[in-house]
Amino acid sequence: MAVNARRCPWWLTWAFFGALVAVFVGERPLGDTGVWRAVFSGAGFGFAVIATAWRAWAWLGSRGDRRRIHGILLAGYAGSVAALVLYFLGSDLIAPEPSRLWSATRAAWPILLACSLLPALAAQWAIGSPRAAVSSDFDEARVEALRVVELAVSALDVAVVASFLFLAVFIAKERDTKWDVSYFKTSAPGSATVNMVSSLDDKLQVLLWFPPVNEVKDEVEGYFTALAAKTGKVEIQLKDRMVDPALAKKYRVSKDGIVTLVKGDQHRNITLDDDIARARAKLRELDGEVQKAFMKIARAARTVYFTVGHGELNDPNARPKGVRDPFSQVRAIRDLMTMLNYRVKDLGLRQGLAQDVPDDAALVMILGPTVPFMDAELDALDRYLAKGGAVFMALEPNTEVQLGPLAHRLGIELNSAPLADDRQFVVKDRSPADRLNIVTDQFSSHASITSLSRARAGSGILLLGAASLDEADWGDAWTAEKPKRTFVVKSLASTFRDENRNYQFDADSEKRAAYNLMAAIEGPKPADDNNSGDGEGDQKDATKRDDQPRRMRAFVVTDVHLLSDGVLAQIQLNGNLVLDALKWVSGDEEWSGEVESEKDVPIQHTKDKDVVWFYTTIAGAPLLVLGAGLLGVRRLRRRRRKQS
């Protein structure tokens, strides 16, 4: 049905829309021009009012479908004019300062304008061309009123949906609310940190240099409050470097976002940030940062020597060509030793290893040698252990490295055949060699693996190619009391020594058994050692250890990749094992325990789990869709049969 052209020309709706565009130009592009703003906005608003009145006059003089169509257009005009009125009420012309009315009108006028203008434009479009509109005075045969109404209602539906989206964005912007759905949690105090702080005689002072109201400060204060509750030896002080510049200068604090740990006249700063977005990464590993700083103030620095010149993992230039591994970096171990307040030095032929181990060596680390040691070097290490030295040794399978006199000193022998498991292993390269990536949860109760002993059932560690250890006789290395030898970690019973390196279990020549993977050896008590105890945990005061007669300690593992950056970064239990073993071999087992971290790590599947996931995704999902389709078709056929 065409609208009466004598009362309302066909172009009135489009002219009305042009008036709204003029208001937009006056308020946006010309909003700061003064005169031109008044001309465009005033003219546009005035014509919109006139067009609305014109449409109202046509609506009053019509009947039937004519009146119905005029009513739709009139509602659109009137709603649009009302939206302009709300806009001006909230503009700087009437409300120069923000207020509740200002916020309400800013949200209301766009919604009202969309819900009014879109149906009016849709109705005008349905009416037809200009010729159809003027050729007849409401020719009901040409335009159906129902079609106009339906199109207007559809446009109103679109406007309502858009309004809901606009309102959601508007509220989020006005409230300045941000939803961060990514995982974030500040690490809690780990058992290692709790043990360290509990061993103190005096309280540990913690100075928090943050603004009074700060999200990072709340997270850090929560961590130290929990630590104080568990130990009773933490004193927390909130500091402002602007209020107390002298104290800030004393502790070298030049910006906010710093935590200062104070013990006596020693202090150490932990630099975070006062912005939560930038501090999130360190807050996830705050427990490790606290341990690192605490170790610096809890005792004097000691020296650890890493052997070099035998293809060790820490000396890549010395490794023979072809001896490469994707997990061949041990930077994390060096950083860990620095965290434990050690000075890291190299020890090889050029540094005098063939003569003797330096007197200041608190610990010697041997990480995966692939070239045999010289006899003189082995003799020097043997003499160092006989005097109560400490050695952490990580060996590899498939090498010609022999322990020599160290075998009798430690009571162990290396079997270099690689261990494999065709039932429980971790898929890494999707090749038969993956069977060397064994897992185990067979741990004994020993101070060197405190975290493993306390791990929940089902927790395990990963070894990427391990050899095994056998018992050896002590020989003449010990004439009186023998050391205490404990195999602290064993493999699963499904593991076998792959003697022919074919990654297959050969029943006629190979045997499944729980093989020894790691050993902790502790020498007898020195004659002038007046400490009491059974030998485990009698060297608890690390600050006095260098002044007391020492007893030999050695920790031996059969997979150097256990200490690689790739493994330590992905499996927290492996990292806890290495940390506990290092503390034990150094005489700091009182400080053993877990380091809490909320850092995300990749998910690793064993072969069995990987097979389940494979068939679930490849076959299970399509079968589920197929089953749902067949069920739907069956119900449809039954319905048609009943109808027929």
Residue 347 contacts residue 308 (beta carbons within 8 Å): yes
Whether residues 379 and 271 share a domain: the answer is no
Helices (H), 232-388: 245-250, 276-284, 286-298, 331-339, 375-386
Same-domain status, 285 and 308:
no
Last residue of a domain, one of 276, 298, 320: 298
Residues 6+ apart with CB under 8 A from 318: 308, 309, 310, 311, 312, 371
Domain membership flag for residue 390: yes
Say if 532 falls within a structural domain. no
Tens digits of residue pLDDT in 234-243? 999 999 888 8
| Dist. CA 470–CA 488, nearest whole Å | 13
Host domain of residue 454? 302-525+549-591
Nearest partner of 43 among 25, 23, 29, 27, judged by Cα: 23
Angle at 382 between CA 548 and CA 336, to 5 degrees: 65
Q: Do 242 and 358 share a structural domain?
A: no
Instruction: State the DSSP code for 183.
Output: -
Q: Considering the domain boundaries, does residue 458 fall inside one?
A: yes
Contact 156, 118 (CB under 8 A): yes
CA distance 579 to 568: 10
- DSSP labels, 34-53: SHHHHHHHHHHHHHHHHHHH
Q: How many domains are contained in the chain?
A: 3
Q: Is 55 helix (H, G, I), strand (E, B) or coil?
A: helix
| Angstrom distance (rounded) from CA 541 to CA 552 | 16
Residues paired with 412 in a beta bridge: 471
Domain contains 126: yes
Same domain (yes/no): 233, 90: no
- 116 and 247 share a domain? no
Decide if 414 is inside a domain.
yes
The amino acid occupying position 334 is R
β-pair partners for 314 = none
Same domain, residue pair 220 and 169: no
* Residue pair 539/550 in contact by the 8 Å Cβ criterion: yes
Same domain, 81 and 219: no
Comparing C-alpha atoms, which of 11, 16, 10, 174 is closest to residue 90? Answer: 174
Select from 256, 280, 298 the last residue of a domain.
298
> Is the residue at 610 inside a domain?
no
539 falls within a domain: no
Burial of 289 (0-12, 13-18, 19+ CB in 10 A): middle
Give me the pLDDT at residue 533, please.
Answer: 39
What span, in angstroms and rounded, lies between the C-alpha atoms of 215 and 500?
A: 60
Q: Position of tokens 């050969």?
A: 506
Q: What is the pLDDT of residue 4?
A: 45
Please, are residues 210 and 179 in contact by the beta-carbon 8 Å criterion? no
Alpha-carbon distance of 216 to 327, in angstroms, equals: 35
Answer yes or no: do 280 and 366 share one domain.
Answer: no
Take residue 160 and report the two structure tokens written for it: 């309502």
Bridge partners of residue 361, in order along the sequence: 303
**Contact, 369 vs 401, CB < 8 A?**
yes
List, in order, residues 6 or more apart from 347 with CB less than 8 Å away: 305, 306, 307, 308, 353, 357, 358, 361, 364
Residue-wise DSSP of 90-154: HSTTT--S--HHHHHHHHHHHHHHHHHHHHHHHHHHHH--HHHHHSSSS-TTTS-HHHHHHHHHH
Residues of the chain whose pLDDT is less than 50? 1-6, 130-142, 326, 529-547, 605
Asked if residue 329 and residue 265 are part of one domain, the reply reads no
Q: How far apart are CA 431 and CA 184, in angstroms?
A: 36
Q: Encoding tokens for residue 28?
A: 């946006």
CA angle 233, 234, 236 (to 5 degrees): 155
pLDDT at 639: 79
**290 and 307 share one domain:** no
Pick the last residue of a domain from 265, 298, 331. Answer: 298
Q: Are 525 and 551 in contact (CB under 8 A)?
A: yes
Taking alpha carbons only, the member of 66, 72, 55, 68 closest to residue 138 is 66
Q: Which two tokens stand for residue 408?
A: 């009798």
Please report whether residue 115 resides in a domain: yes
Phi, psi (rounded to 5 degrees) for 61:
-95, 15
Same domain assignment for residues 267 and 311: no
Q: What is the DSSP letter of 504?
A: S
Encoded amino acid at 406, one letter: L
Same domain for 278 and 308, yes or no, is: no
Residue pair 330/313 in contact (Cβ under 8 Å)? The answer is yes
Find the CATH number of the domain harbouring 436. 3.40.50
Q: Which long-range contacts (CB under 8 A, 24 or more apart) does 424-432 make?
A: 424/492, 424/494, 424/606, 424/607, 424/608, 425/606, 425/607, 426/462, 426/604, 426/605, 426/606, 426/607, 427/605, 427/606, 427/607, 427/610, 428/464, 432/503, 432/504
172 φ, ψ (degrees, to nearest 5): -60, -40
Indicate which CATH number applies to the domain containing 238. 3.40.30.10
Kindly provide the b/e burial profile for residues 494-512, where b requires at least 16 CB atoms within 10 angstroms of the residue's own CB: bbbbbeeeebebeeeebeb
Rg over alpha carbons for the chain, rounded to the nearest Å, is 40
For residues 380 and 347, give the distance between their C-alpha atoms in angstroms, rounded to a whole number: 12
